[in-house]
Amino acid sequence: VNDSYGHGTGDQLIRAVAAGLKVLIPQGAVLARIGGDEFAIAFLSDGENAAALQLSEQILDFLVDPLEIGRRVVVVGASIGIAMSPAGTIEREELVRRSDLAMYKAKEAGRARMTLYDPSMDADREQRNALELDLRNAIESGDLTLAYQPLVDATTQALTGVEALVRWNRPGHGPVSPEVFIPIAETSGLIESLGLFVLRKACETAKQWPELNVSVNVSPGQFRNPAFTDYVRYVLKQTEIEASRITLEITEGYMIQNPQRTRQSIERLKGLGVKVALDDFGSGFSSIGYLRQFGFDRIKIDRSLVMGVNEDKRQREMLQATVALARSLDIPVTAEGIETEGQAVAMRLFGCDCLQGYLFGKPMVAERITDMLNE
């Protein structure tokens, strides 16, 4: 059960949901609260899925209507996993484990879903566990590396900075995309050590490029940690890097969920002298007006928006308006994912002062950046 607005109505909410479920479940069924916001319902059926699917649908329907908790109206949702024990052949613990696995699959698929357990879920889980184990080893033995992608001045196309991007060559498997392993690091408690490695490595490397700014991605799991500012202060001191040359990039998603804490964290980070940029702008929901209060030093327009700039008239207009609004708040704008001259020209025309994309260079090893500076 997910209180999607995080109103924190807690036990009252759980009681209201439980009361609703009690009405829905069939005669003789067992309703149990596993813990937190998780419930289990067990009942006998004729051996087919239909009854469980139907009940799940009824539960999701029931939760579509907002619940009144005291004077509050709360919107809740649920992710439901279903497992069957044909003729009682599956042990109770195993049945709970299977439905739990199916529930996580439902969760991954989006809100308000129901999913039936199937054995391939065990294989998925095993693969994921193996990946997690390898990632843990890679972090511990320093097998992760950083690639650096050029950031150029929109007018002169001179190299002004780089973005550090983590790379992992998984033994026996080849390169794994950070889009795959960062989320795994997030949910397995590895993000802190991974993030610390990236920040330290990027700061150390940046020392050989006194003329460049270095951007480092910070994931929500790092940013959420109240001690994050202390880590940053520590690394800055340890590597003796000039703080103003470091930009931390954070994504929109986290900010929307935790506006208050985001504001505080940004303030503290800026107190250290580092810059803070909003990454992937335009891929989510935030409006520019809303951004003013956060004090971002820079906005990066998401590649998905930049892509269509010369194809789709409406997208072009929206992009133009977005950049103009950011500029009206005196926030400089970077366009990412520039692959063609046409895109570069358009984004500069709209007012972006910094460009990034394959047109100017793919992410590359540090030595190549040094070569570029010496060219």
Residues that bind ligand C2E (CB under 6 A): 149, 165-166, 177-179, 182, 198, 217-219, 279-280, 303, 336-339, 356-358, 363
- CB nearer to Ca ion: pick between 192 and 249: 249
- Please tell me the distance from the alpha carbon of residue 239 to that of residue 233, in angstroms, as a whole number: 10
- Please tell me the distance from the alpha carbon of residue 9 to that of residue 2, in angstroms, as a whole number: 11
363 binds, among ligand C2E, Ca ion, none (CB under 5 to 8 A by kind): ligand C2E
199 binds, among Ca ion, ligand C2E, none (CB under 5 to 8 A by kind): none
Element (H, E) at 332: none
- CB nearer to ligand C2E: pick between 55 and 165: 165
Question: What single letter denotes the amino acid at residue 371?
Answer: D
- CB nearer to Ca ion: pick between 37 and 143: 37
- Please tell me the distance from the alpha carbon of residue 82 to that of residue 98, in angstroms, as a whole number: 8
177 binds, among Ca ion, ligand C2E, none (CB under 5 to 8 A by kind): ligand C2E
Cβ of residue 163: shortest distance to Ca ion, in angstroms? 6
Cα dihedral 297, 196, 163, 369 sign:
positive
Asked if 58 contacts 20 with a C-beta cutoff of 8 angstroms, the reply is: no
Question: What single letter denotes the amino acid at residue 134?
Answer: D
Q: Which two structure tokens, joined as six digits, stand for 181? A: 């392993």
- CB nearer to ligand C2E: pick between 23 and 158: 158
- CB nearer to Ca ion: pick between 121 and 182: 182
37 binds, among ligand C2E, Ca ion, none (CB under 5 to 8 A by kind): Ca ion
Output DSSP code: residue 329: T
**For residue 185, which phi and psi values (nearest 5 degrees)?**
-60, -35
Cβ of residue 361: shortest distance to ligand C2E, in angstroms? 9
- CB nearer to Ca ion: pick between 186 and 279: 279
Q: Which two structure tokens, joined as six digits, stand for 190? A: 């590895």
Cβ of residue 217: shortest distance to Ca ion, in angstroms? 5
2 binds, among ligand C2E, Ca ion, none (CB under 5 to 8 A by kind): Ca ion
Element (H, E) at 320: helix 313-328
Q: Which residues bind Ca ion (CB under 5 A)?
A: 2, 37, 217, 249, 279-280
282 binds, among Ca ion, ligand C2E, none (CB under 5 to 8 A by kind): none
Question: What single letter denotes the amino acid at residue 33?
Answer: R
